[in-house]
Amino acid sequence: MEGLEDLGCFYEDFSLRTWSQGRSYCQSIGGDLAVLDASADFLRVVDYYAAQTAVSSIWIGVYNTVWLSGRTPSSSEWYGSEPNGSDLCVDLRNNYGFLLGDTGCTSIKMSLCKAP
Ligand SMILES: [Ca+2]
């Protein structure tokens, strides 16, 4: 994505899928749901989406409060009181300022993939 090339090769899948379907799709193209290795890198992605008006919510590679890499997000990566429920899947949502929020895994959203 423009301005984020140094963070890796991102791919936005605009098809609406559940979190698991989104992950499967990302894996089918040789990547996975996007994982950011550092808080500062993730906050750059947040800023990228904050400048987008067409995106409402997008799946990302956080499950059960942990990035798929095993990294625990810092509190600054979560929106407000998130994570706040028993929901295991995590998205970036426009009305949360594109910070992390846990939500139901069967919602359908676009997906942010990243190549390894
Ligand atoms: Ca939540």
Full DSSP string of 36-66: -SSHHHHHHHHHHHHT-SS--EEEEEEETTE
pLDDT bracket for residue 52 (50, 70, 90): confident
pTM of the model: 0.95
For residue 6, the CA-to-ligand 1 centroid distance in Å is 30
pLDDT bracket for residue 67 (50, 70, 90): very high
For residue 16, the CA-to-ligand 1 centroid distance in Å is 20
Choose between 68 and 54: higher pLDDT: 68
For residue 61, the CA-to-ligand 1 centroid distance in Å is 15
For residue 42, the CA-to-ligand 1 centroid distance in Å is 18
Query: How many helices and strands, by DSSP H and E, does the chain display?
Result: 2, 7
For residue 12, the CA-to-ligand 1 centroid distance in Å is 23
pLDDT bracket for residue 116 (50, 70, 90): confident
Residue 53 has pLDDT above 90, yes or no: no
